[in-house]
Amino acid sequence: MELRQLRYLVALADERSFTRAAAREHIAQPALSQQIQRLEREVGLGLVERTTRRVAITDAGEMLVARARRILAELDAAHNELQRLKGIQTGHLTLGAMHTMGPIDISLALAVFHARHPLIELTVREDFSESLAERLRADEVDLAFLSVTERIESHGLGLHQLVSEELVAVLPAGHELAGRGRIAMAELEGEQFISYREGARLRELLIAAARQAGFEPDIKFESNESQRIRALVARGLGVAILPRSDTIDAGPGIAIASLVEPKLARDITLAWRADRRQPPAVSEFLRIAMEVFVPEEFSTVADSL
């Protein structure tokens, strides 16, 4: 009793026609008929009643068809599971990430993934959020950590927000507003700003907030590194708007104040193409990232490595 014979018998039971069953199984009709006859000789029972108009399945045939369906379903399930396992054992995964990731330690997710699937090659590409979204659509990256804008949100990406983070005002220690716990954006009119470069979501938020407060920000220095921006502020070269996580243990020379009117926040969101079936390695990293980046549980996962 061969698996192909069982498949042919099931096809015949479904189609009730040797012609249609043969077409479904992509073989010639005489070959399918011969295999059914061999199966009948092997089991010693008639499985099919042949008439000029249609095919009928005997009681013995129906019993064997029921068993064959279960056998073939189990084999198909085993094949799918093995293919999935093969897909996350080898291959290549390309991730996109913003220049500043705040509390999201992408190296932690990479370490967890690598520990579980050491044969998959990992690549990380840094870029601005909207560029990362375009790279997703062009299949240049498989997943991306980005900040959502209106243009990103409306173009068919799957999105899972990991964190929403407060933005704060960063001032030189000797600034006249340095002792304040809260600062309205309008109070920074006339200041020189140090900002991320054109295309960065944090720069967009700074400009939008300043315009809401009634002025155009005077951006004198640009950098995509939060540490350098803090250093420039500490030297008295301007003020900045940064995620709060980028100001923790910032060192001497700067003062931090909550920003109000308007309050600002930026998200860090994991994004993927919503209109395609994801390869197993991509689905696995997505699952791991959602497991790792749960508030107040980051350290628990890290400790398990």
State residue 85's pLDDT score: 60
The domain boundary, picked from 26, 56, 87, lies at 87
Question: Do 236 and 189 fall within a single domain?
Answer: yes
| Same-domain check for residues 112 and 175 | no
Residue 219 and residue 254 share a domain = yes
How buried is 246 (Cβ within 10 angstroms: 0-12 exposed, 13-18 middle, 19+ buried)? Answer: buried
Domain count within the chain: 3
What pTM was computed for the model? 0.64
Domain match, 130 and 193 both: no
Determine how β-strand 143-146 pairs with β-strand 218-222: unpaired
Q: What is the pLDDT of residue 122?
A: 92
From 27, 58, 87, the end of a domain falls on 87
Does 180 lie in the same domain as 41? Answer: no
Domain final residue, candidates 56, 87, 118: 87
Residues 176 and 49 grouped into a single domain: no
Report the alpha-carbon distance of residue 137 to residue 274 in Å, rounded.
9
DSSP string, the chain: --HHHHHHHHHHHHHS-HHHHHHHHTS-HHHHHHHHHHHHHHHTS--EEE-SS-EEE-HHHHHHHHHHHHHHHHHHHHHHHHHHHHHTTSEEEEEEE-S--TT--HHHHHHHHHHH-TTEEEEEEE--HHHHHHHHHTTS-SEEEE---HHHHTSSEEEEEEEEEEEEEEEETTSTTTT-SEEEGGGGTT-EEEEPPTT-HHHHHHHHHHHHTTS--EEEEE-S-HHHHHHHHHTTS-BEEEEGGGGTT--TTEEEEEEESS--EEEEEEEEETTSPPPHHHHHHHHHHHHH--TT-HHHHHHT-
Residues 155 and 285 in one domain: yes
130 and 276 together in one domain: yes
Tell me, what's the pLDDT at 277? 79
Same domain, 138 and 286: yes
Q: Give the model's pLDDT for residue 88.
A: 64
Domain extent, residue 278, equals 91-162+267-303
pLDDT along the chain (305 residues), means of 10: 87 88 87 90 89 82 90 82 63 90 89 88 92 91 89 79 92 93 95 92 92 95 92 95 86 89 91 84 87 56 37
Question: Could you tell me the CATH number of the domain that includes residue 11?
Answer: 1.10.10.10
Q: Are residues 112 and 78 in the same domain?
A: no
Mark whether 22 and 153 lie in a shared domain: no
104 and 246 belong to one structural domain:
no
CATH code, 233: 3.40.190.10
d(CA 34, CA 112): 54
